[in-house]
A and B are shown apart, each in its own frame.
Chain A
């Protein structure tokens, strides 16, 4: 009973606050003097958040559903034992679970807690933001049936599988993850009397929703900090200066990779954004934007740090960076696409 009163009270408070806020907005609009940059920052931040939050939400929902419907044995049975086959399977798993770079992170962690091999999980994490039907379709829509589409898919898969194989040297997935969150999350399934995949359909769905809500809070704060940093950098760092640097086979690649990290846009639409640079930038640098951006950007790295050990993140980002750089500079120098 106490709880019902509590929640009604808080709900009433929220409504009052909302009314106060609406009044305050009028007052603010009437000439509350904040610097223009503050409004720009707020608008860009909210833009990134509004666009990315639904994707993260769908990822945590997928994670909740996996928790209550997929048991450990199924994953062991379905996934190949061999590291190379596992990494390739992980790289292609995005076609089964079409999530983008925000959603894939809670889902990958969930798979790891269910016993997925490191190579498979890391390959899935890095590849699925590109190797999934939605992103393939949007890249096709932007560039058509041509070299950019093929190279984007090929390079992303290659880099994801390679980095995955490096992590195959680590025999247990648990060693990649940050220790504390793993314990918290397995809290629900550690209870052997009530395993997560038990109960009626309604009970399971309800549990999936509770997990998704909790996980949104856990991951959401890093999405928010990442979006704030990206918005701040965009408000302060002149992109014009960055773009003015960009020519030459090596420099153009570095500039476009920096821009991918800075913009932190979702992989489902980055193909359209990159179109603006076709013509002024080398093809290799456009590819580096399309391959590196989905794997590494400010908000993704913030989310990685929440889930993985710092060392894991460092290796993952560094390897991805080097491989993308080498491949796209090679393309610039040797293949005139």
Chain B
């Protein structure tokens, strides 16, 4: 590859990366990848990419580019995120990722500050993460028994469960999906086997105290289970 052609390719890729980051932010699918609190960082990154791309374009047109002779193949490695980003349909982590990541039953997240928030939250607005936390923090989880629960998540069939049970799970993402951990609440329903893994469901019912790995664990005795589309923010952001 000749030097000018190489410079042009780099220019296009810088502009492409900038476009990708801004496009993800605007289309909302950015939340399939990172915690919402880092949106500003991606926006900033997108604008800097565009700025560098425009500077490189100007340099190319006036043929005053910086004299770098980095190996030519590097251009094609930088194409990997562009190709995967634009070509592969955006898909949030789902129950197939759960097999290696496992289900977190102990959520130390948030520490003491969180338990005050939890007390103020009406029980039917709690997410699966809130319920698992409530059970972690409560000295006697039996106080929650009978409270109404209303949660959304994906179906996961865990081998530790009974035939009339499945887990309704969510991934919690602190920073980016690399640190995602799964949490879930057990759902009790006679039709458990009919729900396929990965289906997104809206479950409402009453909380009961069950057990998982010998520890008290939240169970929802299902009143109704409805299939729902993937929420715009599939992860929970602790």
Distance in angstroms from A137 CB to nearest chain B CB is: 14
Query: Which residues of chain B are within 8 angstroms of A275 by Cβ–Cβ distance?
Result: 108-111
- Chain B residue nearest to A237 in the complex (CB): B100
Pick from A18, A25, A225, A265: contact of B89, CB below 8 A.
A25
**Sample of 26 A–B contacts (CB below 8 Å):** A21-B87, A37-B96, A38-B88, A40-B97, A43-B32, A43-B33, A44-B93, A44-B178, A48-B177, A51-B33, A51-B178, A53-B21, A53-B45, A54-B42, A184-B68, A187-B67, A188-B67, A212-B52, A213-B14, A217-B74, A220-B78, A239-B101, A240-B102, A272-B109, A273-B179, A280-B106
Q: Given the complex of chains A and B, what is the CA–CA distance between A23 and B84 in angstroms?
A: 15
Task: Count A-B contacts at CB 8 Å.
Answer: 220
B26 within 8 A of A: no
Q: Given the complex of chains A and B, what is the CA–CA distance between A221 and B111 in angstroms?
A: 38
Q: Given the complex of chains A and B, what is the CA–CA distance between A178 and B45 in angstroms?
A: 28
Q: Given the complex of chains A and B, what is the CA–CA distance between A46 and B33 in angstroms?
A: 7
Contact B45 A278 (CB under 8 A): no
- Chain A residue nearest to B69 in the complex (CB): A184
Query: Which residues of chain A are within 8 angstroms of B68 by Cβ–Cβ distance?
Result: 184-185, 187, 214-215, 217-218
Contact A216 B80 (CB under 8 A): no
Interface string of A224-240 (1 = CB under 8 A from B): 11001011001111111
A277 within 8 A of B: yes
Query: Which residues of chain B are within 8 angstroms of A214 by Cβ–Cβ distance?
Result: 10, 66, 68, 70
Contact A50 B30 (CB under 8 A): yes
B210 within 8 A of A: no
Pick from B45, B109, B174, B177: contact of A43, CB below 8 A.
B177
Q: Given the complex of chains A and B, what is the CA–CA distance between A272 and B38 in angstroms?
A: 14
Q: Given the complex of chains A and B, what is the CA–CA distance between A52 and B30 in angstroms?
A: 14
Query: Which residues of chain A are within 8 angstroms of B97 by Cβ–Cβ distance?
Result: 36, 40, 235
Distance in angstroms from B30 CB to nearest chain A CB is: 7
B212 within 8 A of A: no
Contact B45 A57 (CB under 8 A): yes
Contact A18 B86 (CB under 8 A): yes
Query: Which residues of chain B are within 8 angstroms of A37 by Cβ–Cβ distance?
Result: 96
Pick from B10, B21, B67: contact of A217, CB below 8 A.
B10
Contact B66 A50 (CB under 8 A): no
Query: Which residues of chain A are within 8 angstroms of B30 by Cβ–Cβ distance?
Result: 50
Pick from B44, B63, B66, B99: contact of A207, CB below 8 A.
B66
- Top 8 nearest A-B pairs (CB, nearest first) are A54-B45, A240-B102, A47-B177, A36-B96, A209-B55, A221-B77, A269-B175, A47-B176
Which of the segments A3-11, A108-116, A250-258, A315-323 contacts the partner chain?
A: A3-11
Distance in angstroms from B20 CB to nearest chain A CB is: 9
- Chain B residue nearest to A225 in the complex (CB): B77
Pick from A3, A57, A228: contact of B60, CB below 8 A.
A3
Contact B177 A44 (CB under 8 A): yes
Known: A10-B8, A46-B33, A236-B100. A210 touches B56 (CB 8 A): yes
Contact A3 B67 (CB under 8 A): no
Pick from B56, B61, B89, B92: contact of A213, CB below 8 A.
B56
B196 within 8 A of A: no
Contact B77 A272 (CB under 8 A): no
Interface string of B190-223 (1 = CB under 8 A from A): 0000000000000000000000000000000000
Query: Which residues of chain A are within 8 angstroms of B24 by Cβ–Cβ distance?
Result: 50
Query: Which residues of chain B are within 8 angstroms of A209 by Cβ–Cβ distance?
Result: 51-52, 55-56
- Chain A residue nearest to B18 in the complex (CB): A57
Contact B91 A213 (CB under 8 A): no
Contact B78 A57 (CB under 8 A): no
Contact A51 B81 (CB under 8 A): no
Known: A10-B12, A54-B44. A264 touches B178 (CB 8 A): yes
Query: Which residues of chain B are within 8 angstroms of A230 by Cβ–Cβ distance?
Result: 178
Contact B96 A40 (CB under 8 A): yes
Interface string of B6-41 (1 = CB under 8 A from A): 001111111111000100100000101110001001
Query: Which residues of chain A are within 8 angstroms of B78 by Cβ–Cβ distance?
Result: 217, 220-221, 224
B59 within 8 A of A: yes
Most buried by B among A209, A240, A272: A209
Contact A49 B81 (CB under 8 A): yes
Pick from B4, B9, B66, B70: contact of A211, CB below 8 A.
B66
Pick from A49, A51, A213, A218: contact of B38, CB below 8 A.
A51
A206 within 8 A of B: yes
Pick from B41, B61, B81, B104: contact of A3, CB below 8 A.
B61
Distance in angstroms from A100 CB to nearest chain B CB is: 11
Query: Which residues of chain B are within 8 angstroms of A53 by Cβ–Cβ distance?
Result: 17, 21, 45, 81
A336 within 8 A of B: no
Contact B176 A50 (CB under 8 A): yes
B138 within 8 A of A: no
- Chain B residue nearest to A215 in the complex (CB): B68
Q: Given the complex of chains A and B, what is the CA–CA distance between A224 and B81 in angstroms?
A: 8
- Residues from 170 to 184 in B contacting A, C-beta threshold 8 Å: 174-179, 181
Q: Given the complex of chains A and B, what is the CA–CA distance between A47 and B4 in angstroms?
A: 32
Known: A51-B38, A206-B55. A265 touches B61 (CB 8 A): no
Q: Given the complex of chains A and B, what is the CA–CA distance between A14 and B10 in angstroms?
A: 13
Most buried by B among A40, A43, A209, A243: A43
